[in-house]
Amino acid sequence: MGNPLPVNTHKGTLGELLVQLRLLEYGIQAAAPIKDSGNDLIAIKGEITKFILVKTENRLREMPLIYHYAAIVELETDANGSLLLDQSRIWFIKKGEGLSHKRLLTKDLVEEIFG
pLDDT score for 11: 86
Query: Do the domain assignments include residue 89?
Result: yes
DSSP letter, residue 82: -
Specify if 2 maps to a domain. no
Domain membership flag for residue 96: yes
pLDDT in tens, the chain (115 residues): 688 888 888 888 999 999 999 999 999 999 999 988 888 999 999 999 999 999 987 767 777 789 999 999 999 999 999 999 999 999 999 999 988 999 999 999 999 999 9
Instruction: Report which DSSP code applies to 106.
Output: -
Return left, alpha or beta for 46; rule: phi > 0 is left, psi -120 to 50 is alpha, else beta: left
Global pTM reads 0.90
CATH number reported for the structural domain that contains residue 40 in this entry:
3.40.1350
Alpha-carbon span 81 to 95, nearest angstrom: 32
Longest CA–CA span in the chain (Å) reads 45
Whether residue 1 lies inside any domain: the answer is no
Domain that holds residue 54: 7-114
